[in-house]
Amino acid sequence: MNRLNFFGNRFLDPWRQLSGLEHLARLLPASAVGAGHQHPAVNVFAGSDDLLLSMELPGIDPEKLDITVVRDTLTLRGERPADAVQSGETFHRRERAAGSFARTVHLPFEVDATKTEATYDKGVLQVKLTRPESTRPKKVAVKAV
């Protein structure tokens, strides 16, 4: 249903009004624009006995990443260094967030923290987690009587 605007002579199109807000987003810091998104973004691939988490973390020193696994929860902590600005320079556009971050991912099943392996290659962190033998689904044979 269309509604009249305050002037009473034009129809108000709310979608058109919202499309203008994207220009406002350019004026805000990246942390405010992406407030609804968690960093780093995580892909979780699940098999029946293991999980693989993949996260893009370019420019991060892998030695400074902290990964904690407790039952069915993985927490990643780290820090992205800020880009250095040389004297006489200013940012034309700044979208990459800098500073400390923490990300907690709830896993679909409990994992064995002692068998967790993490690799970092070309800015991508991959964490492989294994389900404990005791919690793996067991096939039950049905006996005919």
- Residues 8-44: tens digit of each pLDDT: 555 566 666 665 565 555 555 544 444 455 788 899 9
DSSP state of 38: -
Cα–Cα–Cα angle for 18, 22, 28, rounded to 5 degrees: 125
Separation in Å, CA 20 to CA 23, 24, 25, 35, 113:
6, 8, 10, 19, 48
Instruction: Tell me which residue range forms the domain holding 74.
Output: 36-82+97-135
CA distance 79 to 60: 7
In-domain check, residue 3? no
Helix (H, G, I), strand (E, B) or coil at 127: strand
pLDDT digits (tens, 9 = 90+) for 103-142: 999 999 999 999 999 999 999 999 999 999 888 888 899 9
pLDDT at 139: 87
pLDDT at 62: 93
pLDDT digits (tens, 9 = 90+) for 62-106: 999 999 999 999 999 999 888 888 888 888 888 887 889 999 999
In-domain check, residue 87? no
Instruction: Provide the greatest CA pair distance for the chain.
Output: 87
Q: At 104, which CATH number?
A: 2.60.40.790
Q: How many Cα atoms within 13 Å fall on the side-chain side of residue 109? A: 19
In-domain check, residue 119? yes
Number of folded domains that form the chain:
1
In-domain check, residue 112? yes
CA distance 122 to 107: 25
In-domain check, residue 123? yes
Residues comprising the chain, all counted: 145
In-domain check, residue 129? yes
In-domain check, residue 10? no
The reported pTM is 0.66
Residue 17: what residue type? Q
In-domain check, residue 20? no
SS3 sequence of 41-56: CEEEEECCCEEEEEEE
